[in-house]
A and B are shown apart, each in its own frame.
Chain A
Amino acid sequence: MTDLLIARGRVIDPAQGIDKVTDLLLSGGKVHSLGRLSRPDPQNLPVLDASGCIVCPGLIDPHVHLREPGQEEKETIATGAAAAVNGGFTSICCMPNTQPAIDDNGRVDFVYHQAARAGLANVFPIGAVTKGRAGEALAEIGLMAAAGAVGFSDDGCAVASAAVMNKALAYIAMTGKALMQHCEDPQLGGGVMNAGSLATRLGLAGWPRVAEEIIIQRDILLNQRQNFAARYHIQHISSAGAVEMVRRARADLFGQNHITAEASPHHLLLTEESCAGYDTNYKMNPPLRARRDVDAILDGIRDGVITILATDHAPHTQEEKELEFAHAPFGIIGLDCALPLYIRALIEPGIIEWPTLVAMMTINPARLCDLKGKGTLAPGADGDVTIIDPHQGWGIDVDEFASKARNCPFHGWKVNGRALATIVGGQVKLLRDWERLKGYDGDPVPETAGELLALLSSEQRN
């Protein structure tokens, strides 16, 4: 399929300020043009009818965990990419907390290699800031950037030492990439749920808001003292106080260009009350917090303080999540079901409109990770497109996920909105409604997660 006409959809491309019902022509894996075709050539051109749907740049998730190398029983790069396509994501950025950590250029190459073999979504590696993510010595940041690392993070841990962080900000600035910080002071944090009266009652160790805020405030200060040498990105923001700090730091244009923050679906929809039954699917890092924190994050999104959405897709095995609350690993998966959750949290209550949601899931993460040709439908951009049926009602069922993992507290939720089609580099990777595609005579395109996984080799799947 070298050419494809996506017809009559509501095309939303925030990078170009476009929001109108029109046609989109992909050609040779790139965006050819936008606008009603004056002389369509239906004989030779496959046409995908997108009427009633949103057509936008392919969704980008700048924060996922794919567990390969080292923990392939949780997820592989291939199954993670399949989960991305199943959820409407065309590009994902994977964190380097693998075993071993992605902390040199050879491992960056490995991620690209495995992603190419899978042939589903674009997978971009984030390199470690420090060797082995140990927080002590800088990793080979320059070589990793040259090999294609799109950002740097020790995610899972903060770069805890102020001195190391100071050096990292200065050095990473050389690459033009962002430093993505997991904001948790390891000595103040480290608990298993939000610190407060509920944690006290449940007898669980608390992870207080201040452990997040103290790192953010420190890092903003360090970056200012260096005249904003680097771009600094706050991962999975969780506390009201942190939102306030980012708001102040982004008060001017300089701040807006150098300080960004992301929010995760669970921090928009769940509170610490969910932990009361000791269900480990509610154990997150940073933890679920209180209603006022959720409200502050929503306000931050409405006001443009938080500009990026990220799932923090964190696969774990069922055995691990069956452990005691204190011992079970942190995190939940998100790629397969994030889109309707953002709709639930942000569109349905009227916090933001569709163009803002699309920007937060396309051009904004593309700019964060400096992904050339991504995040827009401008002529010549990569042919990555997501077609969203914004009203389709469905029930989240973990057994219909493409991810290997099942650790998802949203199982059973009734939601609205779903990716109808996921198109990567001009290739339709997923299409849930074949009736809409005419004039196509290529290989069958998967309709479900199961069919997506069937494209992978058994080694990639298992």
Chain B
Amino acid sequence: MSERPAEYQWLHNHLLGLEELPVQDIRFLLQTAKGFEGISTRSVKKVPALRGKVVVNLFFEDSTRTRTSFQLAASRLSADVINFEAKVSSVSKGETLRDTARNIEAMGVDVIVCRHNLSGAVHQLARSVACSVVNAGDGQHEHPTQGLLDIYTVAKRYGREDYNLAGLTVAIVGDIAHSRVARSNIYGLLKLGAKVILVGPPTLLPSGFAELGCELSSDFDAVLPRVDVVNMLRIQFERIQGQVLPSLREYQHFFGLTRKRMRLARPDVLVMHPGPMNRGVEIDSGVADGPNSAILAQVANGLAVRMASLFLVTSSGRGELLEKGRGEEN
């Protein structure tokens, strides 16, 4: 953290996505996360960074891990945490997203951590409140803290302390079309210099990503030997309309990361999965629990990344930025 130029200042009131986050800010956030990583291994797992602040987890979509991770991250920073599960869709209640957000904000909240099943909803929410908003996943759009923790895991494994990933090749495999994890990974990885190969059946592989500089392939066996990291995604059945696959059996045959297929990979390949896993579909248990797997490290790193995210969006320089941000919106 000390290497950054003295004039550097984090200027973001919200963390909504990695597409709009400049590369120096991605690096700074990851460096900040590294500073927080040690806290989880101390006997007193708490720092007073957010003492007196209130963080609300506003989840419109079920999530256990992400919500728990944010909750733990906030409490390690000494913030007060409230979980607000809006299980009933705001539409059916006759209350708009804006109403819900303003109601919660009126309770005196500093940060809203929001997950929503629809793309863009968190951005719409951020426009209607004055407090900070952290995107915990919006539809099939972005999941920035997951992208950051995946990148953090890759950088740590390959000893890239400057968070420069040039020379590394990452394959993201599976349901790219419906995955917010894929999008946040793609934006972050490309900005940090990694090569990204997207792998999946054509019905789940939007050609638009080629324009961003990704390589697209439906031949997993040909891609696997070339990569340093393989990030396996699950198929998001809850977002899929109509048929995109003939069968799971066929999918598993061509795109499952089996032990047999692992023989094609480099011996030190890093295997990741954002969870929840469908063991036996996109990944075999033997691989998920094997020596190449970073799946549990991802979970641990997620805590540090989320602490850094909450800390930075509430950090100093915010008042000034708020004014600036408001000016731009009008």
Contacts and interface: CB of A to CB of B under 8 A. Distances in A.
Interface of A: 187, 196-204, 277-278, 319, 322-327
A277 B123 contact: yes
Given A277-B123, A278-B123, A278-B124, A196 B97 contact: no
A278 B119 CA distance: 9
A197 to B, nearest CB: 3
B188 to A, nearest CB: 14
Interface stretch (B139-147, B163-171, B222-230): B139-147
B190 interface: no
A327 B209 CA distance: 25
Interface string B81-97: 00000000011000011
B211 interface: yes
Interface in B115-144: 116, 118-121, 123-124, 138-142
Contact of A322 (B19, B98, B118, B208): B98
Given A322-B96, A322-B98, A203 B119 contact: yes
A187 B241 CA distance: 10
Contacts of B119: 202-204, 278, 325-326
Given A202-B119, A202-B120, A278-B124, A324 B209 contact: no
Interface string B207-235: 11101100000000000000000000000
A197 B208 contact: yes
Contacts of A199: 208
A323 B97 contact: yes
A205 to B, nearest CB: 8
A197 B98 contact: no
A200 B91 contact: no
Contact of B91 (A196, A198, A327): A327
Given A197-B208, A201-B208, A325 B142 contact: no
Contacts, number: 67
Contacts of B97: 322-324
Interface string B261-285: 0000000000000000000000000
Nearest to B210: A197
A203 B208 contact: no
A325 B209 contact: no
Nearest to A320: B96
Nearest to A318: B96
Given A197-B209, A324-B116, A324-B118, A203 B142 contact: yes
Nearest to A190: B241
A197 B211 contact: yes
9 contacts: A197-B209, A200-B206, A200-B208, A203-B119, A278-B124, A322-B97, A323-B91, A324-B120, A327-B118
Given A203-B140, A203-B142, A319-B96, A324 B208 contact: no
Contact of B121 (A187, A196, A201, A324): A324
B325 to A, nearest CB: 13
Contacts of A327: 91, 118
B183 A203 contact: yes
A67 to B, nearest CB: 19
Nearest to B206: A200
A358 to B, nearest CB: 37
Of B140, B142, B208, most buried by chain A (CB within 10 Å of CB) is B208
A99 B90 CA distance: 24
Nearest to B177: A200
Contact of B209 (A200, A204, A319): A200
Contacts of A319: 96
Given A204-B120, A323-B97, A324-B118, 15 more contacts: A200-B208, A200-B209, A201-B183, A201-B212, A203-B119, A203-B138, A203-B139, A203-B142, A323-B90, A323-B96, A324-B97, A324-B116, A324-B120, A325-B118, A327-B91
A199 B209 CA distance: 11
Nearest to A277: B123
Nearest to B140: A203
In order of increasing CB-CB distance, the 8 nearest A-B pairs are: A197-B208, A203-B141, A278-B120, A200-B208, A203-B119, A203-B140, A324-B118, A200-B206
B76 interface: no
A325 B127 CA distance: 14
Interface in B155-203: 177, 180, 183
B19 A201 contact: yes
A162 B142 CA distance: 40
Contacts of A325: 118-121, 124
A198 B183 CA distance: 12
Contact of B120 (A196, A198, A203, A322): A203
Contacts of B209: 197, 200
A278 B17 CA distance: 14
A141 B56 CA distance: 57
A129 to B, nearest CB: 26
Most buried by B among A201, A203, A323: A203
A165 to B, nearest CB: 23
A454 B202 CA distance: 59
Contacts of B207: 197
A323 B118 CA distance: 10
B291 to A, nearest CB: 34
B296 to A, nearest CB: 28
A200 B178 CA distance: 9
Nearest to B124: A278
A204 B120 CA distance: 8
Nearest to B211: A197
Contacts of B212: 197, 201
A225 B118 CA distance: 44
Contacts of A277: 123
Contacts of A322: 96-98, 124
A71 to B, nearest CB: 16
A187 B206 CA distance: 18
A197 B211 CA distance: 7
Contacts of A198: 208
Contacts of B139: 203-204, 326
A198 B116 CA distance: 20
A322 B123 CA distance: 12
Contacts of B121: 278, 324-325
A374 to B, nearest CB: 41
Of B96, B97, B116, B242, chain A has the most CB atoms within 10 Å of the CB of: B96
From B97, B124, B177, name the one whose CB has the most chain A CB atoms within 10 angstroms: B124
B266 to A, nearest CB: 30
Contacts of B124: 278, 322, 324-325
